[in-house]
Structure 1
Amino acid sequence: MSRRDRTAGPVPSRRWSSARLLLAADVSATLLFAIEGAQVAVTAHLDLFGTLAIALVASTTGGIVRDLVLGDTPPAALRHPNYVITAVLAGAVVFFVDQWWLNLPQTPIVVLDAAGLAMFAVVGAAKALDHGLIPIVAVLLGVVTGVGGGVARDLLTDQVPAILTHDIYAVAAALGAAVFVVAARAGLTRIWAMSLGAVACFALRVPAALLDWNLPRL
């Protein structure tokens, strides 16, 4: 057996492990954004269908746009039932425990949203690198993945998207994606690079939301 034959075996395994990691992070972020989107819908007094629709849109739009840009079609959210099932179930749970949910303090909601943003940002950047895009574009796709669902959610609930008016939100996503890209290019393993990027995004987003940090405006 040649050296090439002996060394070729583990490569598909590593790729499969990376693919599973991305899928797990993507679905986890979908769950968190679906919960947060459903909470916005309940606050806006939408009915069950409206709540489920907002949960689905908020949790999948960013990933769908990302996959369309990458040419990864049909988008993962439309290929794998995990995404739709996760979003719909999360939306239904939030709807039926609405009184309990509405009485929650702000901090748990902020933490859920920040965790979802962090995971979406690094997953988007990771998929972009896997498709051979240059680092700066990978960071931009990380941001699109993180904020796309929130923009769609706000538009459907008749609000100006929050990222255009207040909150350090897209900036946090950009930071997380950039940290991931730098770490990945430096040779760190995929899980460590994603972890560092997610922590960076989360560490900026949570205090920014709780302490009302904003970018300068006129």
Structure 2
Amino acid sequence: MTPSRTSIVATRERGITLIMIVLIIGAIFIAAGVALPEITSRIDNQTSRETSDRISDLQEAMTAYTRDLQQLPTSLDHLGRTNGTRAWRGPYVQQIIQGWAGQAGDYRRDNWNRTYRWRRTNRYQGTIISSGPNGRFGDSDDLRIAISVFDVLRSITMDRLDVVNIAISNYNARFGQSAPLWGSAAMIVRQLQLRRFLPRGPVFDRDAFGAPLRTVGRPVTAFSSRNTRR
């Protein structure tokens, strides 16, 4: 039986329609292949900015921690829970977590929900590192911020020197002639505490870096620190 002209035309139209569908699907895949990397890149850029903001917030929390404990934490955990010392007055991250409304609240993780690395170089220097978009540490897309609280410790030291030197001045005004101050910083602090020129408890014979304060004059008229200009 010979196919009719109508059936031949219908078959051709179905063939053309199928080709068009294949071409359209192919075009969609090509467009998606071009657009997807751009979309992914934009998402990663936004996430990188948000993670950088979080790291900056953690820097503020570490500054507050340092004011109380006079050193950077050995672990990020200690920003949120006590490290067992009486000087800890945290949590130091409560306020910044509240500022992350609508986002994950674990301050130890970046915006890709990956754990930061915290490397403390010494008591007052360290680096917070995010593995970045690719999730691998040690390459060019890592996000990091170097943290130094030297200025914080220096400020604490200067405040401490002000308190001690006022106490020494007051002591010398009353007892400088009859009982002048001699000896190490620790010995003089004990004498000032016995005479109630200084309160008991706080550390007054060392600076915030942990170094012994130096005595000035013979007999002693002041303390100084090698870690400040005073």
TM-score (norm 2): 0.26
Structure with greater contact order relative to length (CA < 8 Å, sep ≥ 6):
1
Flag the structure with higher strand content: 2
Greater share of residues in helix: 1
TM-score (norm 1): 0.27
